[in-house]
Amino acid sequence: MWLDMATLLLIHGPNLNLLGAREPRHYGAKTLRDIEGEVADAAKRLGHTVSAFQSNHEGAIIDFLQKESPKAAGIIINPGALTHYSYALYDALRDTKLPAVEVHLSDIASREEWRRVSVTSPACIAQISGKKEAGYIEALEILDAEIKSG
């Protein structure tokens, strides 16, 4: 079912509030607000709106998903380090029953061994890694196609 002006949730996990200053060689030079603005602009061109949220707290992210997912059509999520151990976040993503795309600014497959495992990606329709902020736009395009074909 195609939705006019679908709302997409854009969620960022721990430490992503420090983007722009945090290890630019891995995460790029853009700030979180820069990325959120780029995603919102691209979403608007596709006919969607974005509701962005960042927290350093796992429970706050889960609370946001539970509260906002009934009003949304899809999720773009960069879980940060929660990617590697949060089965609670995996469950929360599954419970939304929404298509979700997991995004990582850095290439997690070529970093430390522990970063190579994602326990949250099985709750998602795709994972994008290592494309810096362009990964968010790719995630948006994947969700747009999924929403419009659904």
Q: Using the CB atoms, write b or e for 118-146: b if 16+ within 10 Å.
A: bbbbebbbebbbebbbebbbebbebbbeb
> Catalytic: which of 12, 27, 48, 90?
27
- Whole-number pLDDT of residue 44: 96
Beta strands in the chain (DSSP E): 7-12, 49-54, 74-78, 100-104, 126-129
Alpha-carbon gap, residue 4 to 88, rounded angstroms: 31
- Whole-number pLDDT of residue 3: 47
- Domains annotated for the chain, with CATH where assigned, are 7-149 (3.40.50.9100)
Residue 104 is a catalytic residue:
yes
Alpha-carbon gap, residue 61 to 18, rounded angstroms: 17
- Whole-number pLDDT of residue 94: 98
The mean pLDDT value of the chain amounts to 92
- Whole-number pLDDT of residue 1: 41
Low-confidence ranges of the chain (pLDDT < 70): 1-4, 24
Residue 90 is a catalytic residue:
no
Asked if residues 50 and 8 have their Cβ atoms less than 8 Å apart, the reply is yes
- Whole-number pLDDT of residue 60: 98
> Catalytic: which of 12, 48, 90, 104?
104
